[in-house]
């Protein structure tokens, strides 16, 4: 039992969780971090957290137990089924991605009511929340703004877009007809991430996975078949910048935030550009293209780039890595090390 205000991370063993736990526990070693995930944390991360709860975000009894044992004033709700996996099991995706998020928002609301402070609730949305209808529309749109093209074609994208609305509801309008004010206990903050590329973990079940998969396969000396056309373009970001952006948004003064949901960008290469950089670093890489028309269709519905003016203005989004430095200074050296072991 800890009454010290704790941080709770769901989906902690996933790609973002991996980087986030390391950052949070280094920045503030005295702040307890608790995690909820179906899978255990890796051996290097496990000692950094106060308690790992093994289980599902759909298990309300487990959430009630955590509620009784911990006071939480920051939630990072990272657990989700990604976009490709969600298309194979849309109903399960809806359960995990939407009902799971509702459970966590309820958890945060109860926490806020019990200790009286607003609970900062960080929610990772995605460029999957956009749906551009045609290639011509995608080319003409360029950098899309948050409120444009909100017609996702995937279950995952629909789930993310709806949960952004749910978060706004809990943050601003919760039980608006009740006699006592209830809103304001959840301080919901959301980033729509581009495709993320980590040097230390490989994603699973996403549709932007071709860039990280290509890079990791080349370093591991394995052949890779890229499932999108070479001219396919979407925004990407190196994982350290994603974690950095989360921290900037979470710690921003509330009055500076003019939006609930923010785009963030860094670089937006085509698949061919990623391949060229990977081949330059790993000249023996075996990379072929075998287009999966269906997954291609999903990536084609995502924007070529995003307008992140609001994030830069309101909370100082400033990615450290551009395309060349993301690969040259972060991904390639770190990945080389990983596979050299
Ligand atoms: N990058 C994720 C995916 O491809 C979307 O958030 O599913």
pLDDT per residue as tens digits for the range 182-228: 889 999 999 999 999 999 998 889 999 999 999 999 999 999 999 99
Residue 194 in contact with ligand 1 by CB distance below 6 A: no
Question: What is the arithmetic mean of pLDDT over 172-191?
Answer: 92
Is the confidence at residue 1, as pLDDT, over 70? no
- So what's the pLDDT on residue 203? 85
Rounded-to-integer distance, Cα 285 and Cα 170, Å: 48
Which residue numbers are catalytic?
156
Atom of ligand 1 nearest to the CA of 196: 1
CA 85 to ligand 1 centroid distance, Å: 10
Rounded-to-integer distance, Cα 286 and Cα 315, Å: 41
C-alpha distances (whole Å) from 158 to each of 76, 109, 129, 151 are 20, 24, 6, 8
The per-type count for the chain, helices as H runs and strands as E runs, is: 14, 13
Find the helix or strand (DSSP H, E) in which 10 lies: strand 2-10
Residue nearest to atom 6 of ligand 1 (CA): 126
Is the confidence at residue 2, as pLDDT, over 60? no
Atom of ligand 1 nearest to the CA of 208: 4
Residue nearest to atom 2 of ligand 1 (CA): 206
- Whole-model pTM? 0.97
At what angle are helices 271-281 and 210-220 packed, to 10 degrees? 20
- So what's the pLDDT on residue 265? 98
The strand pair at 143-144 and 305-306 is best described as parallel
Q: pLDDT averaged over the chain?
A: 96
Closest CA to 76 of 19, 114, 26: 19
Residue 83 in contact with ligand 1 by CB distance below 6 A: yes
Instruction: Classify 175 in phi/psi space as left (phi over 0), alpha (psi -120 to 50) or beta.
Output: left
State the pLDDT confidence band at 77, using cuts at 50, 70 and 90.
very high
Atom of ligand 1 nearest to the CA of 195: 1
- So what's the pLDDT on residue 196? 97
**Lookup result for tokens 């978060």:** 167
Residue 207 in contact with ligand 1 by CB distance below 6 A: yes
- So what's the pLDDT on residue 181? 77
Residues 282-338 pLDDT 10s: 999 999 999 999 999 999 999 999 999 999 999 999 999 999 999 999 999 999 988
DSSP annotation of 255? G
CA 207 to ligand 1 centroid distance, Å: 5
Domains in the chain, start-ordered, CATH in brackets? 80-340 (3.40.50.720)
Rounded-to-integer distance, Cα 303 and Cα 145, Å: 10
Residue 82 in contact with ligand 1 by CB distance below 6 A: yes
Residue 206 in contact with ligand 1 by CB distance below 6 A: yes
Tokens of 133: 């209808």
Q: Give the residue, out of 153, 160, 206, 212, with the most ligand 1 atoms within 8 A of its beta carbon, to mutate for a pocket test.
A: 206
Atom of ligand 1 nearest to the CA of 207: 4
State the pLDDT confidence band at 3, using cuts at 50, 70 and 90.
low
CA 13 to ligand 1 centroid distance, Å: 16
CB 311 within 8 A of CB 235: no
CA 129 to ligand 1 centroid distance, Å: 10
- So what's the pLDDT on residue 338? 86
- So what's the pLDDT on residue 341? 67
């Amino acid at each position: 039992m800890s009454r010290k205000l704790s941080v709770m991370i769901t989906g902690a063993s996933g790609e973002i969780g991996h980087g986030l736990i390391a950052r949070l526990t280094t920045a503030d070693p005295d702040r307890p971090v608790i995690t909820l995930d179906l899978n255990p944390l890796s051996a290097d991360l496990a000692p950094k957290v106060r308690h790992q709860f093994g289980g599902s975000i759909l298990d309300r009894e487990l959430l009630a137990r955590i509620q009784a044992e911990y006071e939480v004033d920051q939630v990072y709700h990272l657990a989700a089924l990604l976009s490709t996996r969600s298309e194979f099991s849309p109903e399960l995706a809806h359960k995990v991605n939407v009902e799971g998020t509702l459970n966590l928002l309820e958890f945060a609301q109860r926490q806020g009511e019990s200790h009286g402070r607003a609970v900062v609730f960080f929610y990772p949305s995605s460029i999957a929340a956009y749906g551009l209808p045609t290639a011509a529309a995608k080319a003409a749109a360029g950098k899309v703004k948050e409120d444009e093209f909100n017609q996702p074609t995937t279950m995952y994208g629909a789930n993310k877009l709806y949960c952004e609305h749910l978060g706004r509801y809990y943050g601003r309008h919760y039980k608006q007809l009740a006699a006592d004010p209830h809103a304001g206990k959840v301080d919901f903050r959301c980033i729509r991430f581009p495709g993320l590329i980590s040097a230390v973990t490989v994603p699973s079940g996403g549709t932007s996975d071709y860039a990280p998969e290509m890079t990791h396969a080349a370093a591991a000396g394995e052949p890779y078949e890229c499932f999108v056309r070479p001219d396919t373009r979407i925004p990407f970001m190196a994982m350290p910048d994603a974690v950095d952006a989360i921290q900037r948004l979470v710690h921003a003064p509330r009055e500076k935030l003019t939006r609930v949901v923010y785009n963030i960008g860094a670089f937006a290469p085509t698949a061919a550009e990623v391949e060229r950089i990977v081949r330059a670093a790993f000249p023996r890489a075996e990379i072929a293209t075998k287009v999966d028309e269906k997954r291609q269709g999903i990536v084609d519905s995502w924007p070529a780039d995003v307008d992140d003016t609001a994030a830069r203005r309101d909370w100082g989004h400033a990615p450290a890595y551009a395309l060349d430095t993301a690969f040259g200074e972060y991904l390639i050296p770190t990945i080389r090390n990983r596979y050299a072991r």
